[in-house]
Amino acid sequence: MKSIGGKRLVAALLVLALLGVAAAQSLTFWSWRTEDVDAYNGFIAAFHKDHPGIDVTFTPYKNTEYNTILSTALQGGGGPDIVHLRAYGGMEPLAQAGLLVPLGDKVPALKDFDPNVLKAATNRADGKVYGVPFALQTIQVLYNKDVFAKLGLSEPKTWQEFLDVAQKIKASGIDALANGSKDPWTVETLFGGVAPAFYGCNAFYDKMAAGTATFEDPAFKTALQRMVDLEPYLASNYQGVAYSDMQSLFAYGQAGMLIGGSYELGTLAQLAPNFHVGSFLIPNDQGKTCETFYVDGSYGINAASKNQDADVQFINFLASKAYGQMFTDTLKQISAVPGVVPTDPVLAQMANRMHSEGTPYLMLTLFRYGQPSGSTLLQNEMQAVLAGSETVDQAAANIQRGVATWYKFQ
């Protein structure tokens, strides 16, 4: 009898275990952030601690392949439960196709987000928000403080001073700038760091948004020319220098400066933990500066997910201030969650400048909603200009011609 009773107990325990397994929900979370796997696994562990019945698996794909992989999966009725969404025009096609869940009534915290930040996750056709914005990025000059100290350099206050700094670094035997042009998108990053002060920051942006200015405006062409003026100071053999090369050149002291995003701080901390980094904005001839910023993307829910209740719980976690602070402290990026304050002093400086001198990332926020996108045109045209196969005037005319096929200019 004892033996039979023991078997019954074991059987009962097995049933309970199986019921426990069945009760647990498993969510899949796709992303393009291959460099942030450890960080996201840490975030998920924090969520799981308070939600032991929900398991989340983070799966990143190659940056340049992610959009296609995700779109194909969602259109086929599959894909992940939680979707790392591109911002602005990168999100809209998925929302318009009914592949995402509107979050307005499911995530109470969204009501406290900056309306301008929410635009990056809003479908213009229905005005609904489909994602929780996760990061704000800024573009500026990052510089090696040790190199500056060794050469007796200080942060430049005018464009000519910036060129003088670049020349002195180059004369010391290392590259002035780590920037290359092999990867087209890095050319647009270069534009984001150099151009705004020359085309007129927010005043010009507002005119472009209203369609009352064009890419053939003299101020815009001057901004493109300033990119060309930096050609002697770009990385050696810059046309063959890819993004990962740029990061290595800067992190390992082979270049004194890098025109790049605030997102580089996290990578730099991993590559060179003892690196002393500073940042400044490129000034125009009169010393005017402004800091390009944009929303990097958002977190959304697949409309075809079978785990909607668990999805909403996880998305609300991603919209919380506790998560935002964890995100900022771990990845050294500016969280889009209201009330989060960066603890890293360099990142805090970038965030403060964004609030006082911020100007929206021109091509991303206005001209990625149609084809050919302004970003693709700018990247390809300026690659050609830097290679010497095209003039600035030709590039500006080609960008204007391409965008005008779908964007209304007055």
Per-residue pLDDT for 275 more than 80? yes
pLDDT of residue 24: 78
**Confidence at 3, pLDDT banded by 50, 70, 90:** very low
The per-residue pLDDT for range 13-25, each reduced to its tens digit, is 454 444 444 457 9
Per-residue pLDDT for 313 more than 60? yes
Stated as kind and residue range, the H or E segment containing 83 is strand 82-85
Stated as kind and residue range, the H or E segment containing 245 is helix 243-251
Which value, to the nearest 10 degrees, does the dihedral of the CA atoms of residues 291, 86, 129, 293 take? 0
pLDDT of residue 375: 97
pLDDT of residue 1: 39
pLDDT of residue 21: 44
Stated as kind and residue range, the H or E segment containing 293 is strand 291-295
- Establish how many alpha carbons lie within 13 A of residue 229's alpha carbon, considering only the half-sphere containing its beta carbon: 17
DSSP string covering 158-177 = SHHHHHHHHHHHHHTTSEEE
**Confidence at 238, pLDDT banded by 50, 70, 90:** very high
Place of tokens 């810059």: 238
Per-residue pLDDT for 248 more than 60? yes
Mean pLDDT of the chain: 94
Structure tokens at 341: 């304050």
Cβ pair 27, 55 in contact under 8 A: yes
Looking at per-residue pLDDT, the higher value among 56 and 13 belongs to 56
Q: Which domains does the chain have, with CATH numbers?
A: 25-134+296-319 (3.40.190.10), 137-294+356-403 (3.40.190.10)
The per-residue pLDDT for range 35-44, each reduced to its tens digit, is 999 999 999 9
Q: What are phi and psi of 356, to 5 degrees?
A: -100, -30
Provide mean pLDDT across the span 265-291: 96
**Confidence at 64, pLDDT banded by 50, 70, 90:** confident
The per-residue pLDDT for range 356-405, each reduced to its tens digit, is 999 999 999 999 999 999 999 999 999 999 999 999 999 999 999 999 99
CA distance 188 to 194: 10
pLDDT of residue 2: 43
The per-residue pLDDT for range 192-203, each reduced to its tens digit, is 999 999 999 999
Provide mean pLDDT across the span 153-162: 98
pLDDT of residue 22: 46
CA distance 37 to 25: 21
Provide mean pLDDT across the span 277-285: 98
Q: Amino acid letter at 101?
A: V
The per-residue pLDDT for range 78-135, each reduced to its tens digit, is 999 999 999 999 999 999 999 999 999 999 999 999 999 999 999 999 999 999 999 9
The per-residue pLDDT for range 168-220, each reduced to its tens digit, is 999 999 999 999 999 999 999 999 999 999 999 999 999 999 999 999 999 99
